[in-house]
Every structure is written in C-alpha cells, then in structure tokens.
Structure 1
Amino acid sequence: MIFKKHEPEFSPIDFFITRFFIGDKCLFEQETKVSLPTLITGDAIDIFDESYLIESREFAFNEGAFITVYRIKKVN
C-alpha cells in the first residue's frame, strides 16, 4: 500500500474572531484560539449587562482566521 502525504490547499486557522454589530457599529469583538459556541437567529445574548437578539450571522475567512459576524438588536 502506498501512502501519499496530504498537502492542504489552505493554511490552518490560527484564531477565531467573533464580532457583534448593531447597524454599522461594532459593539463587541473577541479573538480566541478556539471557536465560541455558535449562536443562531433568534438567540438572546447578554453583552455588558444588556440583552440583545441575534438577527443574522455571517461567516468569512481572512489570513488564517475564521470570522463570525452577528447582527444584533437591543431587547427593550
């Protein structure tokens, strides 16, 4: 049996970035070595003692990083 060395097409992810936006304003950003639990549309989250609702999420890759962008709105 012949084993071939696998050469990945892309470099490994070095870190994960999570960003929370209200409109165009970035309310909070966190960089971690491991991915944070995934939030889905309709989930509620507390940031700085305020409650927010997840309206949507987007994913992107950038130079060895995986980026998750959440669009949120403040819960009254």
Structure 2
Amino acid sequence: MEIRKYESEFPPIDYFITRFLVGDKRLFEQETKVSLPTLVPGDVIDIFGETYIIESREFGFNEDAFFTVYYMRKR
C-alpha cells in the first residue's frame, strides 16, 4: 500500500471574525482563533447592556479568515 502526503489546495484558516451589525452600523467585532458558537435568526443576545434579536447571518472567506456576520435589531 502506498501512502501519499496530502497537500491541501487552500491554506488553513488562521482566525475567525464575528461581526454584529444593527442596520448599517457595526456594533461589535471580535477576532478569535476558534469559531464562536453559532447564533440563528430569532436568537436573543445581550451586548453592552442592550438586548438584540438576530435577524439573519451571512458567511464569507478570504485567504486566512472565516467571517460570520450577524444582522440584528434592538428588542
């Protein structure tokens, strides 16, 4: 049996970026080495003493990072 070394076509992701937006305003952004728990539309979270409802989310990639963008509204 022949064992070959696997060469990935893409480099590994170095970090994860999570952005929270209310309308066009970026409320908060966090960069981490591990992904944060996933929120789904309808989830309620507290940020800086305010309560928000997740309306939608989007995902994206670049060469070194994975992005999760959450769109929220105040509760």
RMSD: 0.6
Secondary structure, aligned partner of 1:59? strand
Specify the alignment match of 2:40 in structure 1: 40
The count of corresponding residues between Structure 1 and Structure 2 is 75
Residue 50 (structure 2) aligns with: 50
TM-score (norm 2): 0.97
* 1:1-76 correspondence runs (5 A): 1-75=1-75
Identity within the alignment, %: 69
- Ranges of 4+ aligned residues in structure 1 off by more than 6 Å: none
